[in-house]
Structure 1
Amino acid sequence: MSGYADLFRLEGRRAVVLGAGSGIGRESALALAAHGAAVVCADRDLGAAERTAELTGSGAEAYGVDLLDTAAVERAAAELGEVDVLVLTAATNVRKRLLDYDRAEFDRVVSLNLGATFDVVRAFGAPMVARGGGSIIAFSSIRATTVEPGQGVYAATKAGLVQLLRTAAAEFGPAGVRVNAIAPGVVETPLTAQIKADPEWYRAYASKSALGRWARAEELAGAVVYLASDAASFVTGAVLAVDGGWTAIDGRYDPPAS
């Protein structure tokens, strides 16, 4: 195959990043723009989206949208026009054990992590299917397969997201639309600030990965560019782990070899 040098280039493609105001979303927007895409930085916090757009230095647009508002998601898909790449990073978590959870907290986590994904995949996926191409990328988590006390509802939504995306991959595939998930481990973002503030908790999570540390948000951006690009032209329905080996190793104990 010729043209390998251009496999990751995204010139001529329009990308929308939902949750671009901070963390992984911001880094995803920056990376997509750096590879040539025209990027729309969308976030509930329009000011944060504008700051990300300014950081790209490539004429990126900013757009305000509340993903918990189904009508607003549908309006965004209509107003933003032709979209080649859709990246969804927005998520929330309530760290409580199941017996301490109340229904309002459950609904809040499910509504954003799973309900908004449903709305986004439908609203942005329909025109991609009609046009005959596109790439949808959403963020799951290692918690879709590995759980711990206090992460039950979050884990359930991330597992549900994977199955929703796999179904979309199956249904959209004949039209040439690819749908994939990225599953990070622990990443230094605003969502994990509570853990990072506790030194013991921070060290425990760092020791759980094979690399012995947390990820930086920018270390997820390469996976986004890959799945958005022609380098992943035959990749759909996949869950790409970017977890520093967390799910590859068995616990923290390193036994003697003999």
Structure 2
Amino acid sequence: MLKKFDSPTSDYRKLFDFTGRTAVVLGAASGIGKFSAEALAALGARVLCADRTQEGVEATAVAIRKQSSLSVATSCDAAADDEALAAKALVEFPRVDIAVTTPGLNIRKTILDYTDEDLDRVINLNIKGTVWFFLAFGRVMVEQHSGSLIACSSVRSVTIEPGLAIYGSTKAAIGLLVKGFASEVGRSGVRVNAIAPSIAETALTGPFKQRPDIYNLYAGHTVFNRWSSADEVATAVAYLASDAASYASGSTLFVDGGWIAVDGPPTGLTQLR
């Protein structure tokens, strides 16, 4: 049960204790979803790991099996898939305290090169997929009068480069969906937030390491001059899911290494020393 953060005398450690909590993580087979599932489990939650790849999602569940975590393969390509996932969660758990969705798709093309098929694929997963997830788990949480919903936006929701306009617009839409849904379900004790990573080292971004010029260029856009690890992003998910964030709703938490704090790579630093 999400609780009000009462006073500075609260036990701060307990704010991050998920013992007795239950969570569903969609996209748990790899990347940020995988590490989010691991983080929630490490803090005591029972986690239902979901993804389209049976082998990958089972591997995540096995890795955190000590927390009695479960796995389910689902494409979540339609509203019915998310409804089935929510129903499965309620069979396994008495309630759903935390629901996280991380899948996203980027087809890097200029707008002039986009096809109808490309557009449908990106919008269906990034926008419709988020709405379907909110519908399925939002209903559950409104009925139980508590819960934390977490979606995945991106630094590309506010800063862009050629070939990312469609992807970026869908990630910006997620930020508004979070605000709107938070306004609708807050009176029922449900919180809705998003994370917005920039560049994280995952299996999907692995090919960038084969291109040091691109890898280093993106690293240079951060104030740390490095990529994040996926677990650094997952800790932000854990925070938004926790009682420490009991008064946070309708927000997008940027975990971007300061990407949007600077106007491009901070190349002038050496001249200031």
Q: Same fold (TM over 0.5)?
A: yes
Contact between 1:188 and 1:196, CA under 8 Å: does it hold in 2? Answer: no
Residue 80, structure 1, aligned to residue 89, structure 2: yes
Contact between 1:92 and 1:191, CA under 8 Å: does it hold in 2? Answer: no
Within a 5 Å distance, the mapping from 1:149-188 to structure 2 comes to 149-188=162-201
3-state SS of the aligned residue for 1:247?
helix
Q: TM-score, normalised by structure 2?
A: 0.91
Residue 7, structure 1, aligned to residue 21, structure 2: no
Shift of 1:178: 0.3
Which residue type is aligned with residue 17 of structure 2?
Answer: R
Shift of 1:257: 4.1
Residue 35, structure 1, aligned to residue 48, structure 2: no
Which residue type is aligned with residue 30 of structure 2?
Answer: S
Q: CA RMSD in A?
A: 1.3
Shift of 1:39: 0.5
Within a 5 Å distance, the mapping from 1:58-137 to structure 2 comes to 58-81=67-90, 82-137=95-150
3-state SS of the aligned residue for 1:87?
strand
Residue of structure 2 aligned with 1:47, choices 55, 63, 67: 55
3-state SS of the aligned residue for 1:235?
coil
Gaps of at least 5 residues in structure 1 are none
Residue of structure 2 aligned with 1:198, choices 211, 219, 224: 211
Residue 142, structure 1, aligned to residue 151, structure 2: no
CA deviations on 1:210-258 (whole Å, 9 max, x unpaired) are 0000111111111111111100000001111101110111212316449
Number of residue pairs the alignment of both structures matches: 258
Shift of 1:58: 2.0
Which residue type is aligned with residue 83 of structure 2?
Answer: E
Contact between 2:32 and 2:102, CA under 8 Å: does it hold in 1? Answer: yes
* Match in the other structure for 2:26: 18
> In 2 relative to 1, CA 194–106 (structure 1 residues): closer, same or farther, beyond 3 Å?
farther
Which residue type is aligned with residue 177 of structure 1?
Answer: V
3-state SS of the aligned residue for 1:7?
helix
CA deviations on 1:157-186 (whole Å, 9 max, x unpaired) are 100111011101110101010000100011
Residue 250, structure 1, aligned to residue 258, structure 2: no
Regions of 4+ moved over 4 Å? none
Gaps of at least 5 residues in structure 2 are 1-8
Quote the Cα distance in structure 2 between the aligned partners of 1:204 and 1:31.
29
Shift of 1:195: 3.4
Which residue type is aligned with residue 104 of structure 1?
Answer: E
Which residue type is aligned with residue 182 of structure 2?
Answer: A
* Match in the other structure for 2:238: 225
Quote the Cα distance in structure 1 between the aligned partners of 2:99 and 2:182.
14
Quote the Cα distance in structure 2 between the aligned partners of 1:171 and 1:54.
37
Quote the Cα distance in structure 2 between the aligned partners of 1:194 and 1:160.
28
Contact between 1:14 and 1:84, CA under 8 Å: does it hold in 2? Answer: yes
3-state SS of the aligned residue for 2:48?
strand
Quote the Cα distance in structure 2 between the aligned partners of 1:228 and 1:97.
36
